[in-house]
Structure formats: C-alpha cells, structure tokens
Amino acid sequence: MTDLMDIAAVARLTGITSRALRFYEGRGLVAPLRTASGRRLFGRDELARLHRIITLKRAGFSLSQIEGLLNDRPVDLAPLLRAQIAVLDEQAQGLAQARAHLATALSRIDRGEPLDAATLCSLIRTGDIDMDQAKWKNVTDLYISAQAEADFADVQGALPTDFDQAAYGAQWADLTARIADALPLDPASAQAGAFYDEWQALLAPFMAVATPAMTQGLTLLYDNIGEWQAEQTPPFSADIWAFIKAVGQARQAG
C-alpha cells in the first residue's frame, strides 16, 4: 500500500495537467519523489497536499498565497479573506447583472415578442457601455457642457448603492425596442400615450437627480442624432426621439 502514482495517473485523478503539476513542483508547492531515471512519483502525502492546493485554488487563492498557507508560514488571513470576499462580491454582481439581462430577454419572450440574436445582444450590450466609452465621449463632448459632464459624474457617485444600472439600461432597451416595433404610430393615439407614460416613468429616477444642465445636454444630444449616429450607434433611433417629442406636444395641445 505504498500507492505511488506517476504524473499521468495524478493528472487523470486530479484533472490538473501534467504540465501544471511540474509547474507546481517548480514553485515548491509539491515535492514528489523521483525514480532512478528521474520520473516523478506522487505518494499519499503529496496527493493529499495536492488536493489541498486544488481546494484553495478553487476558493480563488493565488499560488503564492497557497504556498504560504501550506507551509505554515505566518499568514495574516484577515486581509486575505477580505480581498477574497471582495472578489466574490464582484463576481456575484456580474452574475446578477447577467441574470437581469436574461430575465429581461425572457420577459419579452413571455409576452410573445420575437427575440432574435441581434436583439438579445443589444439587450446584453446595454449593460457594458464602458466598452466604447471613449468613442461616446467624442460625441457627448459636442453637445454636453462641461457643467453637465461634471453633474453626471456627481450623480453617478451619489446613486443609491442598490441602483442596478444594468437593469435600468435593459429596461430602456426593452421600451425603445417595443416603440421601434410599433412605429409608425399616431402620436395622439392611446398606444402612443401609453408608451409616453412608460417613457416618463422610466425617466423619473433620472429626472429626480438630473440638473438642468444635464437635461439640456441630453435633449441637445438627441435633437442632433443625425449628426453623430454614423460615428456612434445611438441607444435608440431619431424616429423614436421624434415620436416621443411629438406625443409630448400632443399631450400639451390636448
């Protein structure tokens, strides 16, 4: 029962590649025995140690952190665990966002609305505006004043901690997609009015924190969609913006 295993057997057993096993040995994490010809042999103790390494790695610890833990070096665990919890929190947030995107997509299917791959992607993309933030800046610089930019930054910082920007973006994507499907539509119609009410309701959390410079900047930005839509894809089309403004005017007239 000396049960010594060669590297291939250990790789099969643990799912760690033989390459990685040699790498771990090189870092001093494991120290298998050697045959006379130099081949590695893993005994029971090495295997147990390896399983600990795998467990700690799954928990997200780095190899050097694992090295410290396994070698009983005095490791200050508190900051390590705090950092690890922060990483998990971040992952949880990412998962929650992904879930929100999919839930929005599912709700559309439940309403019997068609959802092709392109629409699904645009719903999901609404969540990660960072991707082309730089390009957006070229556009926004043209229409949004420095004061408004600063106001936006302040508002971002002052958002309630439980405000889910991804879900909010997804709600906008959902509403504008439904309006796009319904156009052309008589601005004085009941359906147009319903869309307008939805629009205002969705806008409410923004209006609650927006400064006049911000609303002016955004209005100017969307009044001029034609100027920049070639360079940067707008969240919704000029048609939708014109439609919403028309419904607003119809409301005031009537």
Residues lying near DNA in the complex (CB under 7 A): 6-8, 17-20, 22-23, 38-40, 57, 62-64
| Residue labelled with tokens 């090495």 | 46
Q: Which is nearer to DNA, 40 or 108 (CB)?
A: 40
| Residue labelled with tokens 């007239």 | 253
Amino acid at 167: A
Take residue 251 and report the two structure tokens written for it.
């409301």
Give the integer Cα–Cα distance in Å for 95 and 102. Answer: 11
Q: Which is nearer to DNA, 57 or 245 (CB)?
A: 57
Take residue 84 and report the two structure tokens written for it.
């690890």
Q: Which is nearer to DNA, 39 or 135 (CB)?
A: 39
Q: Which is nearer to DNA, 39 or 137 (CB)?
A: 39
Q: Which is nearer to DNA, 39 or 82 (CB)?
A: 39
Give the integer Cα–Cα distance in Å for 65 and 235. Answer: 44
State in Å, rounded, how far the first CA of the chain is from the last one.
Answer: 91
Take residue 102 and report the two structure tokens written for it.
């999919």
The minimum distance between CB 62 and DNA, in angstroms, equals 3
Q: Which is nearer to DNA, 49 or 108 (CB)?
A: 49
Take residue 182 and report the two structure tokens written for it.
């319904």
* Residues contacting residue 27 through CB under 8 Å, at least 6 positions apart: 63, 67
Helix, strand, or coil (residue 5): strand
The minimum distance between CB 180 and DNA, in angstroms, equals 39
Concatenate the DSSP letters of all residues of 115-148 into one string: --HHHHHHHHHTT-GGGGHHHHHHHHHHHS-HHH
The minimum distance between CB 97 and DNA, in angstroms, equals 25
